[in-house]
């Protein structure tokens, strides 16, 4: 893929001590779940099942990036907006990074618009590449989900249009362990944490990235179908275009969220999931509040990068 010039902006994130974050998040989650526990732990080896991530830990130079944006998809796709996970690791000054998050798969490689679950150790550091990224797309024959391994199927590290990514050196170390079960409130798992942080820290932006399992229960997930033939002008148009599914745990979620946008035109939360039973896509919320159980690992980022920010923006389709 030819490299093109892209603007890269950066702001410092606010990084509270981990033990403070743990007590703030536990209090917030307790208002939305019957049982919530947040503590500081040594990151478990995330390369092991069920997570099967591309690197063992979330530690070392953590940063997040918002690449491209929904305005490149809506109202009409800008097909020249192509990116590469390894190139972005360099753009955020961390070549060789372990990268996880949520984005749009490379329509120019897969052949159709699709969801991407980035999960890759990029080349450039002390480690060789390990690409465990997945993509999901809609089966045009019967409307079911097709989940594919990006490297095995397409030998691909490209993506397009948009992504929200967390980068680190992939090292073990201290992280937040977040457990919550039986949802009693209306917020989804990620929104609950994000809004809790916004309430606590106000205009000091706290950016978290990591992974969580939806261990039990089901979730509402969308997969983008092929690009809309007509411009998407409203939230309603977007919802009529997207394909929605109920998918079952265990779902392995890759998540990036920022408590409040510090003026970078961010998508403040974005979570995609994959599984070992053929399902994956964009996480909205669980649909089985009485059954649901979450377990996740997160770390606050030191920097928020904005790569190739759209010049014309809007707030449609950021859910």
Tokens linked to 47: 């390369």
Which two three-digit tokens encode residue 29?
């989650």
Residue 20 CB partners (closer than 8 Å, separation 6+): none
134 is a contact residue toward Zn ion (CB under 5 A) = no
Site string for Zn ion, 91-110 (x = CB under 5 A): -----------x--------
Nearer CB in complex with Zn ion: 190/213: 190
Do 134 and 156 form a contact (C-beta atoms < 8 A)? no
Size of the site for Zn ion (CB under 5 A): 2
Nearer to Zn ion among residue 102 and residue 206 (C-beta) = 102
**Residue 165, helix vs strand vs coil:** strand
**Least separation in angstroms between CB 287 and Zn ion:** 18
Nearer to Zn ion, 38 or 162 (CB): 162
- Cα distance between residue 214 and residue 9, in whole Å: 33
DSSP letter for 9, please.
Answer: E
Q: Which residue has the tokens 């932006």?
A: 205
Euclidean distance between CA atoms 146 and 225, whole angstroms: 11
Asked if 137 touches Zn ion (CB under 5 A), the answer is no
Residues 301, 207 contacting (CB under 8 angstroms):
yes
CB of residue 175 vs Zn ion: minimum separation in angstroms?
24
Report if residue 282 touches Zn ion, rule: CB under 5 A. Answer: yes
Please, which residue, 102 or 107, has the CB nearer to Zn ion? 102
Closer residue to Zn ion in complex, CB, 134/181: 134
- We find the least distance from the C-beta atom of residue 216 to Zn ion, in angstroms, to be 23
Could you say whether residue 195 binds Zn ion (CB under 5 A)?
no
- To Zn ion, the closest distance from the beta carbon of 162 in angstroms equals 8
Q: How many residues does the chain have?
A: 319
Residue nearest to Zn ion (CB): 282
Task: State the first-to-last Cα distance of the chain, in angstroms, to the nearest integer.
Answer: 30
Binding stretches for Zn ion (CB under 5 A): 102, 282
């Amino acid at each position: 893929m030819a490299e093109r010039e892209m603007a890269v902006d950066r702001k410092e994130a606010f990084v509270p001590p981990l033990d403070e974050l743990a007590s703030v998040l536990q209090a917030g989650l307790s208002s939305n779940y019957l049982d919530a526990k947040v503590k500081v732990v040594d990151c478990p080896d995330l390369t092991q099942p069920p997570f099967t991530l591309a690197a063992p830990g979330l530690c070392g130079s953590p940063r997040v990036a918002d690449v491209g944006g929904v305005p490149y998809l809506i109202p009409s796709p800008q097909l020249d907006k192509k990116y590469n996970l390894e190139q972005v690791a360099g753009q955020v000054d961390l070549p060789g990074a372990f990268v996880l998050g949520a984005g749009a798969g490379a329509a120019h490689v897969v052949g159709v618009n699709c969801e991407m679950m980035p999960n890759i150790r990029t080349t450039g550091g002390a480690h060789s590449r390990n690409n465990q990224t997945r993509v999901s797309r809609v089966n045009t024959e019967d409307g079911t989900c097709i989940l594919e391994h990006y490297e095995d199927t397409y030998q691909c590290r490209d993506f397009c249009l948009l992504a929200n990514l967390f980068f680190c050196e992939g090292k073990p170390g201290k992280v937040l362990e977040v457990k919550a079960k039986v949802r009693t409130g209306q917020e989804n798992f990620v929104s609950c944490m994000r809004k809790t942080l916004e309430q606590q820290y106000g205009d000091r932006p706290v950016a978290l990235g990591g992974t969580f399992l939806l261990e039990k229960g089901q979730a509402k997930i969308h997969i983008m179908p092929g690009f809309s033939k007509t411009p998407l002008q409203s939230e309603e148009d977007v919802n009529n275009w997207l394909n929605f599914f109920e998918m079952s745990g265990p779902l392995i979620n890759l998540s990036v969220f920022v408590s409040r946008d510090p003026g970078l035109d961010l998508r403040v939360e974005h979570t995609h999931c994959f599984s070992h039973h053929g399902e994956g896509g964009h996480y909205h919320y669980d649909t089985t509040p009485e059954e649901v159980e979450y377990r996740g690992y997160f770390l606050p980022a030191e920097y928020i990068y904005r790569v190739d920010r759209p010049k014309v923006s809007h707030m449609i389709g950021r859910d």
